[in-house]
Amino acid sequence: MDFRRPIALDVLAGVIGTAIVVLLVDKAKIGPYWLLLAILLILAAAQLPSLRLRIQVFRSGLAAFHMRFPVAEGPVFWRRSNTELVYWGVTGGTIANELRTMLVQEPGSRRNYRFLLMASDGKAIEEQVAFMTGATLPGANNHQQRRISQECAVAQTRLVATITLLKDSAPYKEGRLEVRLFDEFLPWWVYILDGTRMVVGILEFGQEVGEQPAAVLHKSPSHATLFDAFHGNFERAWKAARPA
């Protein structure tokens, strides 16, 4: 690489820039304050298309994006719900301890709960487990197929444990908690808070447990957002699901 050319261009640009500043200040009698302001305005005008796009991102309902969302962060969001807390996931096994604590230490608001979990006797669980273990169906080799079968049995155990936990809780016995089972591949997990806020975690190929990316979405009172798309999809799956 020839470094002389970039250096020469930098020197030339510096000389031209200095000459323009001297011309504007000494000859055109433009004060340094107004010159600085003009430069800032020019830069702002150049960035205007990008700024418009960024504003549209905020209007999309996307409030935050976490590259890694710890399991322990979930209860922080749960506590912000007053009327309803919704969970849409596979077995709920990764948050079982947090769920137990929340249901025992329920706030005075006495919220309602909906849990949509994946049926362990359906067709989707095998595809879901294959995805989480880094295999592709069809096409898994014998070793991968054996592991998928083993993990499906583990998923069934975890699902039964989660359902037992939920049905032993006071909200369930009082009719404020409902559990349903769905049967389709799920590329994310979801928390919905009071029907106005949502956390969407993105399941990564080949990752069974651990921290994953997650987006925080808010509902807008004036226009459709990403929240409406995910919320509508949840309601569709909820209506098609069967009681646990």
Q: Are 170 and 103 in contact (CB under 8 A)?
A: yes
Q: What does the pLDDT look like over 35-67, one tens digit per residue?
A: 566 666 666 666 656 656 555 656 678 888 999
Residues 105 and 31 in one domain: no
Give the model's pLDDT for residue 40. Answer: 63
Rounded to whole angstroms, the Cα distance separating 128 from 133 reads: 9
Task: Say which residue, 227 or 20, is predicted with more confidence.
Answer: 227
Residue 52 forms part of a structural domain: no
Residues 31 and 69 in one domain: no
- pLDDT > 50? residue 95: yes
Residue 145 forms part of a structural domain: yes
Residues 154 and 233 in one domain: yes
- Provide the residue type at 27 as one letter: K
- pLDDT > 50? residue 152: yes
Domain ranges, residue 98? 62-243
Residues 189 and 228 in one domain: yes
Mean pLDDT on 113-118: 98
Q: What does the pLDDT look like over 173-207, one tens digit per residue?
A: 999 999 999 999 999 999 999 999 999 999 998 88
Rounded to whole angstroms, the Cα distance separating 94 from 98 reads: 9
Residue 56 forms part of a structural domain: no
Residues 68 and 129 in one domain: yes
Judged by average pLDDT, the poorest of 97-111, 183-197, 222-236 is 97-111
Strands of the 84-88 sheet, one edge to the other: 62-69, 212-218, 197-202, 188-193, 84-88, 112-118, 177-182, 242-243
Residue 51 forms part of a structural domain: no
Q: What CATH code is carried by the domain that includes residue 82?
A: 3.30.870.10
Residues 24 and 77 in one domain: no
Rounded to whole angstroms, the Cα distance separating 226 from 222 reads: 13
Residues 41 and 83 in one domain: no
Q: Which among 95, 72, 212, 67 has a CA at the least distance from the CA of 158?
A: 95
φ and ψ at residue 92, rounded to 5 degrees: 75, 5
Q: What is the DSSP letter of 24?
A: I
Total domains, the chain: 2
Q: What is the DSSP letter of 129?
A: H
Rounded to whole angstroms, the Cα distance separating 190 from 215 reads: 10
Residues 71 and 8 in one domain: no
Residues 82 and 165 in one domain: yes
Distances in Å between the alpha carbon of 138 and those of 141, 148, 149, 156?
9, 12, 14, 21
Residue 57 forms part of a structural domain: no
Residues 140 and 26 in one domain: no
Residue 108 forms part of a structural domain: yes
Q: Is the dihedral of CA 12, 17, 18, 22 positive or negative?
A: positive
- Could you tell me whether strands 84-88 and 112-118 are parallel, antiparallel, or unpaired per DSSP bridges? parallel
Q: Are 66 and 59 in contact (CB under 8 A)?
A: no
Residue 178 forms part of a structural domain: yes
Residues 109 and 202 in one domain: yes
Residue 53 forms part of a structural domain: no
Residues 26 and 115 in one domain: no
